[in-house]
Amino acid sequence: MTPSHIRVLLADDHALVRRGIREFLEISPDIQVLAEASDGAEALRLLRELQPDVAVLDIQMPAPNGIEVTRQVRAEKWPIGILILTAYEDPPYIKSVLQAGANGYVLKNVEADDLIDAVRAVHEGKSVLDPVLARRVLLDLGTPPAATMEALSEREMAVLRLAAQGLTNKAIGVTLDISDRTVQGHLAKIYMKLSAASRTEAVMRAVALGWLPPTFPEAT
């Protein structure tokens, strides 16, 4: 293994699914699957022990489920990217996962190349969301169309674009030549205008509204 490898933990209660995901990911020479977990408790133990770069989690697995595992990782402030890989495309699941602090949400019918790209993006701190799913969530929440929402200022859009690229507040400040506190202030206004609770949710809403390009291309 070289330092450039992305170290991944898989968690899914179906062994055949884990095997398929591993085979997909290990097509890429820069990704190494460190271990597999069959339930949430085992996933948390391995996350503590191995401290991988990215955790690829299912939602519905024996307790705790993927949403609770995500909450625990964020509560412990572990520097781990979280990608939810699931068959569930219902808005309540997506919303719960994003609010818990996941970096991305993709479906199990994703192509191998897109899954690899999603792991790489999450590792870089970016948000990974299928734009079709993002729009579905917004419709479920009754979010008004872009024309009726308060627009972001030019500087707020610049901050949001950089946040979507995975930059930290400090890096955004350096790029835009503003202080960390100013970046935090812009993000707070962005969250308020987009009714978002996190960076990922803000990016999701911006993608769904057409204000930011999607991570994945639109389905054709």
Task: Give the domains, in start order, of the chain with CATH numbers.
Answer: 6-126 (3.40.50.2300), 144-208 (1.10.10.10)
- CA 50/CA 132 separation, integer angstroms: 34
pLDDT attached to residue 203: 80
pLDDT attached to residue 133: 75
pLDDT (tens place) for every residue of the chain, 220 residues total: 445 789 999 999 999 999 999 999 999 999 999 999 999 999 999 999 999 999 999 999 988 999 999 999 999 989 899 999 988 888 788 878 888 888 888 888 888 999 999 999 899 888 787 767 766 766 665 555 555 567 899 999 999 999 888 788 889 999 999 998 999 999 999 999 988 877 877 887 787 777 887 654 333 3
Task: Spell out a b/e string for 180-191, using b for 16 or more CB atoms within 10 Å of the CB, else e.
Answer: eebbeebbebbb
Of the candidates 46, 52, 48, 49, the one whose C-alpha atom is nearest the C-alpha of residue 7 is 52
Of the candidates 55, 91, 85, the one whose C-alpha atom is nearest the C-alpha of residue 201 is 91
Contact predicate 54/27, CB 8 Å: no
pLDDT attached to residue 220: 30
Name the one residue in this structure whose structure tokens are 């993709």.
106
pLDDT attached to residue 40: 94
pLDDT attached to residue 101: 86
